[in-house]
Structure 1
Amino acid sequence: MNWNDLAQNILDNVGGTSNVKNATHCATRLRLTLYDDSKADKDKIDKLSGVLGVVNQGGQLQVIIGNDIPKAYDAFMNVYKIGGVVLEDESKTTEKETEKKKKPLSAALDIIAGIFIPVIPVMAGSGVLKALLSVIAMLGWISTTSQTYQILNFVSNTVFYFLPVILAHSASVKFKTNPYISMVLGAMLIDPNFVQMIAQAAKSHSTIKLFGLPVTQTNYGSSVVPILLVIWVLSYIEPLINKIVPKVVRIIIAPLLILLVMTPLTFIVIAPIGAWLGDGLAAIIGWINGYAGWAIPLIVGALSPLLVMTGMHYALISVAINNLAKVGWENIVGPGMLVSNIAQGGAALAVATKTKDSKLKALGISTGISAVLGITEPALYGVNLRYKNPLIASMIGGGIGGLFLGIMGVRRFQQVPPVLLSLPSFIGNDFRNFWFAVIGLVISFIAAYVIQLFMGIPEELKPKADKKVEEKHVLSPLAGEVEELSDVNNVVFSQGMLGKGAAVFPTDGKIYAPFGAKVRVFNSDTKHAIGLASTDGVELLIHCGLDTVKLDGKGFTSHIKQDQDVKKGDLMLEFDPEFISQQGYDPTTMVLVTNANDFDEIKSVKLGKIQSLDTLLYLR
């Protein structure tokens, strides 16, 4: 897989560098925040080799890559920076863009996901360590009184005890507050002095007061909701105080006033409300379990694929973490999502078993194994959702497995990813809960696998071989001396990272449209590069000079603008090769086919002198 080619194709099909506000990634997805979503061609991106699916969710265009997302993200950022544009901080968007509000549900899910995604890995690692310690202790391999056990035990508990501090930092990023003030507000909820005051007040049956007002005596260790509410309120208080305090004394006075305002608000109002809400959520879950304990794992097991597609599983994860903190166990996410992941893998592997298509067989095996191990999105978007029947089979299998776990009252005791390696998190006081979890996995896998074997893949939905673009010629957009691309003194171009083609040392610096096309990439400030998409499937990058982005448009005169349609022979750009050389830059112009993967062969027709609109590249 040529990751730079894929990154360039994604960038071209989301409207180019000028349309990308921000780029991040999670475990499987490239997450792009765009200025104008309508410029993104989701269908073209979805058909790119290496892309498993595309969704627009939570105000982001999310390109599902799978386990290789780090490579894709690095390539995207590399290609993006070569374009000469720096990703804009969201805090610097225009007033009009700031006023563009997301739908309430999308906004809420985006906030929850943004807060919990960074925290989940460290919680998962700590949860697995705690689960393994439980197994080792139950098997008698280590004494619970040994210092080794005690140290590892408090290490595994550290993230959960200091959860208010960790969530305070994560929430500060999402709510755009000062992270250090936020962490102080989280730390004061679990400060040993405050904890001791609560213990002494409880022992003496007295009341803790702040400015004469009663402080609710609650233990906030491992809590979730209180600190999230505190940082949310801080996001309104902090900018208000910063606006009032003069800049000269702001660095000292503003934090002082924020602490003086937030401390009583936190201890007397906000944190107690958060604790009450957290207790209420735990009580509701307890009530549902008391009357219909089978319902939650069944629903989550069946609907997890849809929850993942909409991002709503992050909301459930936050509730599950809260329940773990309050009662020490949860059956909201762990059991249902565990059997759902296994069912996703079973359905994908059944597709691999049934199909005669070699590419689909390989895809089904790789994504099926990945899903069984806990990363479901490659299977979900690459196989199951694409062919529909596997998705139905996995939802039925997940529902059946979830129903079994619900009837048996299976619970998870640690916050860990719902994967095979997390099975120790289902060990409670004995192995009974664990073995029921294992049986539920087997049931969900077999059910999804067998159902998919019987359902099969409709013939019309089976993948069809990609058709190669017919033989084409690309004309030279400028006059000059043709050179081999490999001779260019820039590794990005010489190694074909941005595409295949040729280099032309210009004679007059006039750039003409080599074919009828839409201008997909053009920065009106730097003017140094043009990205064209022809009407018959050729995507061309004309990059005028090396590092000429640093000239900020000096020496360039443009005759086009972004998204303009041009005809063959239209004068698009003029630049002064002599001026560029005098400024210490190489005016050599690269003409690159950026969708090179769509062609079997791309080569330069001739070396040496060439005139504008003479044949330069041969494609087939």
Structure 2
Amino acid sequence: MNYNQLAADILELVGGERNVLSVTNCMTRLRFQLRDTKLANVEAIKNLKGVQGIVTKNGQFQIIIGTDVSNVCDELKKMGSFPESTTGNEEEKKGILAAFFGTLTAIFTPVIPALAGSGMIKALLALLVAFKVVEAGSGTYQLFTAFGDALFYFLPFILAVSAAKQFKCSPYIAAVLAGVLMHASVGSLEPATAALSIFNGNVINFNYVTMFGFLPMLKVSYGGSVIPILLIVWVQSKIEPWANKISPNALKIFLAPMITIIGTGIIGLFVAGPLGNLVGNILAIVFNFFNDYAGWVIPLLMGTFCPFFVMTGMHYCFAPIQTIQYATLGYGTILGPGMLASNIAQGTASLTVGLRTKNKDMKQIAYSAGFTGLMGITEPALYGVNLKLKRPLYAAMIGGGVAGLYAGITGIHTFSSTTAGLLALPVYIGGDSIMNVVNAIITIIISIVVTAIATLILGFVDPIEEKTTKETGGNSGKGKADRLSVKETIGSPLKGKVVSLEQIPDEVFSKGILGQGIAVIPSEGKVTAPCDATVVSVIDSKHAVGLQDVNGTEILIHVGLDTVGLKGEHFECLVTEGQQVRKGQTILIFDMDEIKKAGYQLITPIIISNTDDYLEVIAADTKQVNYGDGIITIIR
């Protein structure tokens, strides 16, 4: 893969450097925050070699690359000065819930590799001890324990820095505040005890100390905690700008940080920290309730619906909850068991496709993505194979659900956090019985067997078989044979001079990135429907309309080049998305003279967006067209 070329193509198609507010990456995705997501050419990006798919969630424009994503991101960052994240006013407005999960995801995404690496160290150590390569309590054991536990114990420091970047405040002051939470002088205070009774007879005990002679402060252990430091850094993001504002310039270098540390520290120790700790304790009780009375529910739901959590990025939002579980219970059930079942199922479905497909490209992608899925990275399998073919995704959900149900019934859990896959088996080693890891192995076997059988039963439409049937005229079924003789003619939506796509001074159109078609230099400022169709998209800037006819043909009519820059001026769109239109109906009018005066070319591409669905898209060999004249012929 040419990382530099792919990065350059992506940057151009997301709207250029000026449209990028920030870019970062997780394990498989480029995560953009764009000024205007409508400027991103989604279909063209999807068609780039090396791109598995696109997701737009929580204010992020996410491009799925696979395990090579860090190399592409590095090349992107060489091409422009992009911050890693932003919460500026230019970001699209979102609902409260979407904003919350988006912020949580943005904070935890950079930490995921460190969490996974640390978890694998603990898994490796458990494996070495189980096979008596390393003796528990030895110097080597203590050293590797430090390697594996450091992140989890000092997690407040790591999250403080990541949260500060997201909340746009000083990461160094945030780290200081994390240090305040964990400082020995705070931990050594002698406390008194109080208790709070909550639902189901559960009691939360509180230790507190008296500060300033009268004010009680809860004494909490913050090592490995999650919610307290996130709340504290959020408080810092409110106090820090105020401190900078009131501090004289001559004193700002020390006065503003001092005010921020003291003000945030007091609020953190007395309010935000204890509140976050209380939330964590309540969540722990909820976890215990599910584990005691309905332990099968979460693994079953996670095993079945994890692909949809991955598509929306919601799986990252479970990471802080899982971390709280480790801190309070010593083990995890939220992500590990269910995601193990689901990830193995995703990989198995992809590998089964690889075994059955006759398409060489699909076979290569399916094998590579399937193996990666078995290791716990499922986006390539999900977007590159299973979601694209649909039925393998259903098979993976069946297999993941059945295996997740078994994992829940047997009560398996993880003892540290890592990517859920075959290599994660050592994190199931621990406790008083070996059955936890044995049941994890059985979960994997169930996931593989059920998913493979479901994939074979449900089948899938093999691209090579469909293409061969069309090209050779093979009669594998009456429906397919009938389609071979179908020709469809698309009428011209404009009156004017006809030119080929190759003559358009824009590579996105001239190279056929968006699909095959033709172009017209209009002589009148009117666009009519080229056929009976449904309006599927209307660009906000009113210069382009997408249609779909009754046969499923997708037609893009794009008036002028770069006319998005006019922001709708000199255009009037007469239709709305979802509206049915008849051939010859006027759908768009535009002021040719004013557009030319503004310096824009009026050459108008007419593109068949789903060109790959057809045997051939043939442009008419003519110089001039009137409204409704045949301009494109499609052979099915």
Question: What TM-score, normalized to structure 1?
Answer: 0.72
| Rounded Cα–Cα distance in structure 2 between residues aligned with 1:301 and 1:70 | 28
| Rounded Cα–Cα distance in structure 1 between residues aligned with 2:68 and 2:291 | 39
1:182 aligns with 2:174: yes
Please give the per-residue CA displacement for 1:100-128, whole angstroms capped at 9, x wherever unaligned.
42232332222112221222222222222
Out of 165, 176, 200, which is 1:173 matched to?
165
Please give the per-residue CA displacement for 1:23-64, whole angstroms capped at 9, x wherever unaligned.
222211122222111121212211222211111122121111
- The within-5 A match list for 1:40-59 is 40-59=40-59
| Rounded Cα–Cα distance in structure 1 between residues aligned with 2:230 and 2:245 | 23
| Rounded Cα–Cα distance in structure 1 between residues aligned with 2:191 and 2:125 | 30
Is the alpha carbon distance of 1:41 and 1:198 closer, same or farther for their aligned partners in structure 2, counting shifts above 3 Å?
farther
Counterpart amino acid of 2:120? V
| Rounded Cα–Cα distance in structure 1 between residues aligned with 2:7 and 2:140 | 48
2:14 matched residue in structure 1:
14
The question of whether the paired residues in 2 share the 8 Å contact of 1:133 and 1:149 is answered with: yes
The question of whether the paired residues in 1 share the 8 Å contact of 2:105 and 2:317 is answered with: yes
- The within-5 A match list for 1:355-394 is 355-394=357-396
**2:32 aligns to what SS in structure 1?**
strand
1:208 aligns with 2:209: yes
1:496 matched residue in structure 2:
none
- The within-5 A match list for 1:101-112 is 101-112=93-104
Q: CA deviation at 1:191?
A: 1.3
Counterpart amino acid of 1:164? P
Is the alpha carbon distance of 1:102 and 1:24 closer, same or farther for their aligned partners in structure 2, counting shifts above 3 Å?
same
Range with greater deviation from structure 2 (10-19 or 296-305): 10-19
Tell me, which stretches of 5 or more residues in structure 2 are unaligned? Answer: 195-205, 471-499, 515-560, 567-591, 600-611, 613-636
Out of 133, 146, 158, which is 1:141 matched to?
133
**1:208 aligns to what SS in structure 2?**
strand
| Rounded Cα–Cα distance in structure 2 between residues aligned with 1:449 and 1:432 | 25
Q: CA deviation at 1:460?
A: 7.2
- The within-5 A match list for 1:513-524 is 517=504
Counterpart amino acid of 1:299? L
Out of 227, 230, 233, which is 1:228 matched to?
230
Is the alpha carbon distance of 1:111 and 1:48 closer, same or farther for their aligned partners in structure 2, counting shifts above 3 Å?
same
- The within-5 A match list for 1:332-371 is 332-371=334-373
Q: CA deviation at 1:200?
A: 9.4
Is the alpha carbon distance of 1:170 and 1:21 closer, same or farther for their aligned partners in structure 2, counting shifts above 3 Å?
closer
Q: CA deviation at 1:223?
A: 1.0
Q: CA deviation at 1:362?
A: 1.3
Q: How many residues align?
A: 485
Q: CA deviation at 1:423?
A: 0.9
| Rounded Cα–Cα distance in structure 2 between residues aligned with 1:514 and 1:365 | 37
**1:402 aligns to what SS in structure 2?**
helix
1:447 aligns with 2:447: no
**1:118 aligns to what SS in structure 2?**
helix
| Rounded Cα–Cα distance in structure 1 between residues aligned with 2:275 and 2:501 | 66
Q: CA deviation at 1:572?
A: 11
1:471 matched residue in structure 2:
none
Out of 151, 154, 168, which is 1:162 matched to?
154
| Rounded Cα–Cα distance in structure 2 between residues aligned with 1:48 and 1:31 | 17
The question of whether the paired residues in 2 share the 8 Å contact of 1:162 and 1:187 is answered with: no
| Rounded Cα–Cα distance in structure 2 between residues aligned with 1:453 and 1:279 | 46
2:118 matched residue in structure 1:
126
The question of whether the paired residues in 1 share the 8 Å contact of 2:281 and 2:328 is answered with: yes
1:31 aligns with 2:31: yes
- The within-5 A match list for 1:55-454 is 55-78=55-78, 80-81=79-80, 86-87=81-82, 97=90, 100-198=92-190, 208-211=209-212, 212-429=214-431, 430-454=433-457
2:541 matched residue in structure 1:
none
| Rounded Cα–Cα distance in structure 2 between residues aligned with 1:155 and 1:7 | 35
Is the alpha carbon distance of 1:299 and 1:180 closer, same or farther for their aligned partners in structure 2, counting shifts above 3 Å?
same
**1:348 aligns to what SS in structure 2?**
helix
Range with greater deviation from structure 2 (312-321 or 22-31): 22-31
Q: CA deviation at 1:407?
A: 0.5
Is the alpha carbon distance of 1:463 and 1:256 closer, same or farther for their aligned partners in structure 2, counting shifts above 3 Å?
farther
| Rounded Cα–Cα distance in structure 1 between residues aligned with 2:4 and 2:131 | 50
Q: CA deviation at 1:2?
A: 3.4
Please give the per-residue CA displacement for 1:53-97, whole angstroms capped at 9, x wherever unaligned.
11112212111111221332234345x44xxxx44797696x6x2
Please give the per-residue CA displacement for 1:451-485, whole angstroms capped at 9, x wherever unaligned.
111111135797859x9xxxxxxxxxxxxxxxxxx
Q: CA deviation at 1:294?
A: 0.7
* Structure ranking higher on relative contact order (CA contacts 8 Å, 6+ apart): 1
Is the alpha carbon distance of 1:572 and 1:442 closer, same or farther for their aligned partners in structure 2, counting shifts above 3 Å?
same
Q: CA deviation at 1:152?
A: 2.5
Counterpart amino acid of 1:25? N
1:457 matched residue in structure 2:
460
Could you say what the CA RMSD is over the residues aligned between the two structures, in angstroms? Answer: 3.2
Counterpart amino acid of 1:71? N
Percent identity between matched residues is 39
The question of whether the paired residues in 1 share the 8 Å contact of 2:51 and 2:64 is answered with: yes
| Rounded Cα–Cα distance in structure 2 between residues aligned with 1:335 and 1:206 | 34
Question: What TM-score, normalized to structure 2?
Answer: 0.70
Counterpart amino acid of 1:408? T
Is the alpha carbon distance of 1:515 and 1:51 closer, same or farther for their aligned partners in structure 2, counting shifts above 3 Å?
closer
The question of whether the paired residues in 1 share the 8 Å contact of 2:207 and 2:219 is answered with: no
1:537 matched residue in structure 2:
512
Q: CA deviation at 1:533?
A: 4.0
Counterpart amino acid of 2:119? G
Q: CA deviation at 1:172?
A: 0.9
Q: CA deviation at 1:265?
A: 1.2
| Rounded Cα–Cα distance in structure 2 between residues aligned with 1:194 and 1:412 | 32
**1:428 aligns to what SS in structure 2?**
coil
| Rounded Cα–Cα distance in structure 1 between residues aligned with 2:392 and 2:62 | 22
**1:33 aligns to what SS in structure 2?**
strand
Range with greater deviation from structure 2 (377-386 or 191-200): 191-200
Counterpart amino acid of 1:453? L
Is the alpha carbon distance of 1:164 and 1:90 closer, same or farther for their aligned partners in structure 2, counting shifts above 3 Å?
closer
Counterpart amino acid of 1:24? T
The question of whether the paired residues in 1 share the 8 Å contact of 2:57 and 2:313 is answered with: yes
